[in-house]
Amino acid sequence: MPVVSVSLMNLPGTEAAVGWAGSHCIIADRPEGRAGGMGLGFNGAQLLALAIGGCFCNDLRYIAHRRGVGIASVAVKVHLTLEGDPPIATAAEMVVNCTMEDGSDPQSLIDEARDSSMVGCSLPRGIPVSVSTGQGG
């Protein structure tokens, strides 16, 4: 069973965290002035919305390549609804604009990506999240 691992640690001189996987990194932070945040990066809700939309965009490309068709352009907007205290994501809506190079209707490509997106398919099923304390640094 494949396992994907990422690492995060404090960004020196800030209260933000830098996360990385391989040679790619991202900064997680709170808005400026909130709980020590400096607005240096994305908050958790934004990261979740980006994961939903980013995974979907990648899947569109995987499917297009497998089918041997070209995408001229793709734009995805994700609206994540938060409720409660602490805030919990209760819904996500994606609005997809996709244009095919050959002018064909992209709907079957969009439908397949929706039905096979790892993030989009995992969230409705729910996953357990465990938290433990590590040893050392």
Question: Domain map of the chain by residue range?
Answer: 1-42, 43-128
CATH-assigned architecture of domain 43-128:
2-Layer Sandwich (3.30)
| Spatial CB neighbours of 112, under 8 Å, sequence gap ≥ 6 | 59, 63
Query: What is the overall mean pLDDT for the chain?
Result: 94
The tally of CA atoms less than 13 A away on the side-chain side of residue 53 is 19
Asked if residue 136 has pLDDT above 80, the reply is no
Which stretches does DSSP call E strand in the chain? 7-10, 17-21, 24-28, 71-83, 88-100
Q: Identify the three-state secondary structure at position 49.
A: helix
Helix H or strand E segment including 115:
helix 107-116
Assigned token pair, 128: 């357990």
Confidence grade of residue 134 (pLDDT, cut at 50, 70, 90): confident
Statement: the pTM of the whole predicted model exceeds 0.75: yes
* Contact status, residue 69 vs residue 102, Cβ threshold 8 Å: yes
42-88 pLDDT, tens digit per residue, is: 999 999 999 999 999 999 999 999 999 999 999 999 999 999 999 99
Buried b (16+ CB within 10 A) or exposed e, 40-51: bbbeeeeebbeb
Closest of 20, 21, 15 to residue 39, by C-alpha:
15
How far is residue 40's CA from residue 42's CA, in Å, rounded to a whole number?
7
Assigned token pair, 106: 């992209």
Asked if residue 113 has pLDDT above 90, the reply is yes
Asked if residue 135 has pLDDT above 80, the reply is no
17-27 pLDDT, tens digit per residue, is: 999 999 999 99
